[in-house]
Amino acid sequence: MNINAEVTPEARDYLVAILTKQEVPGMAARVYVEKGGTQQAETCLAFCPPGHESTGDVRKDFEELTLYFEAASVPYLQDMEIGVQGEGKLQSLTIKAPHSKKPAKPPKTFVLSESCEALRVPSGASTTLPEGASVSITQALGGSFTVKYEGNLYRLSPEVTRRLGFHSDAILFEPPGDGRINEQQCWDALRLVYDPEIPVNVVGLGLIYKLDFDQDKHFVRVEMTLTSPGCGMGDIIAGDVKDKLLQVPWVEDARVDIVFDPPWSYDSLDEEARLELGLI
């Protein structure tokens, strides 16, 4: 993984002076973005003693200055520039990261920078894709990827895709002032859960039958189904549903019950899903 980043000579000298004052041999700095791809994105720079860099970090040397770029933040840090403003004691760093607030789009193909846990689609069997494997993305929705490798489909979880340097579909809701769970926010969160084989979210597919709320306990119960009773990815999809709900303000716990009565059919698809699947 490469990054295009620049540090002006003045900024390099400024940073080297600060790092030297820490009196730690080999002290570097680490750059990362919090809430990347959203309007709340913030580019951060922190001390990074030897051995404190994370697996997958991208190292770049600017003469005597070493910077580590968090892998998950690399898409948002492309074309960044670190400079300085002011003079003397009023001098301070400036960081320009023009892509920090733009949602990162994954490439169609990429090489795995490390071995990755994956689930085979549609069986749900666990496996490990090897470091250096060249994979093609068939679907990148809801934070997870469905990739093709050696003719088979595999699902990479949001945790794995973030580790590889990709972010997507961040959930940022304004917490309701009354301290109650907002039902619309829950439905919006569920629209970020996708079937690994179908580019339609579980709400559009008609898989979500019912949401029940216990506002006193900040609890949500979901009743949902699957496109097929034998779907090997059922537990994974249900887990995604729960994870997304737990990102909604005031939701402290959630339970997902999978039912098959009534059974799912294509009649359950909403209009947008029908358009996506070419059924209209």
State whether 146 and 187 are in the same domain: no
Q: Which domain holds residue 87?
A: 5-96
Long-range Cβ contacts of 31-35 (<8 Å, 24+ apart): 31/5, 31/67, 31/68, 31/69, 31/70, 31/73, 31/77, 31/80, 31/95, 32/69, 32/70, 32/72, 32/73, 33/70, 33/73, 33/76, 33/77, 33/97, 33/100, 35/170, 35/172
Q: For residue range 106-149, what is the model confidence (pLDDT) as tens digits?
A: 778 888 988 999 999 988 999 999 999 999 999 888 778 999 99
Q: Residue 177: inside a domain, yes or no?
A: no
pLDDT at 110: 85
CATH code of the domain in which 55 resides: 2.60.300.12
- pLDDT score for 171: 65
- Mean pLDDT on 37-56: 87
**The predicted structure's pLDDT at residue 256:** 97
User: pLDDT at residue 87 above 90?
Assistant: no
CATH of the domain at 139: 2.30.30
Over residues 194-249, the pLDDT tens digits come to 988 888 999 999 999 999 999 999 999 999 999 988 888 999 999 999 999 998 99
CA end-to-end span of the chain? 41
Last residue of a domain, one of 43, 74, 96: 96
Which of 47, 70, 96 lies at the terminal end of a domain, its last residue? Answer: 96
Comparing 95-99, 165-169, 231-235, 276-280, the range with the smallest average pLDDT is: 165-169
The Cα 102–Cα 36 span in angstroms is 8
| 159 shares its domain with 196 | no
> Between these two residues, 88 and 274, which has the higher pLDDT value?
274
In a domain, 153, yes or no: yes
Residue 230 sits in a domain whose CATH number is 3.30.300.130
pLDDT band at residue 278 using 50, 70 and 90 as cut-offs: confident
Co-location of 142 and 201 in the same domain: no
201 and 133 co-located in one domain? no
**Does 152 lie in the same domain as 83?**
no
Judgement on whether residues 218 and 260 belong to the same structural domain of the protein: yes
Residues 151 and 235 placed together within one structural domain of the fold: no
- Is residue 221 located within the same domain as residue 258? yes
- Identify the band that residue 173 occupies on the pLDDT scale cut at 50, 70 and 90: confident
Same domain, 238 and 271: yes
Residue 57 lies inside a defined structural domain of this protein: yes
What's the number of domains the chain is made of?
3
pLDDT given for residue 169 in this prediction: 56
Going by pLDDT thresholds of 50, 70 and 90, the confidence category of residue 254 is very high
Residue 172 predicted with pLDDT over 90: no
pLDDT of 10: 94
- Does 37 score more than 80 pLDDT? no
153 and 115 part of one domain: yes
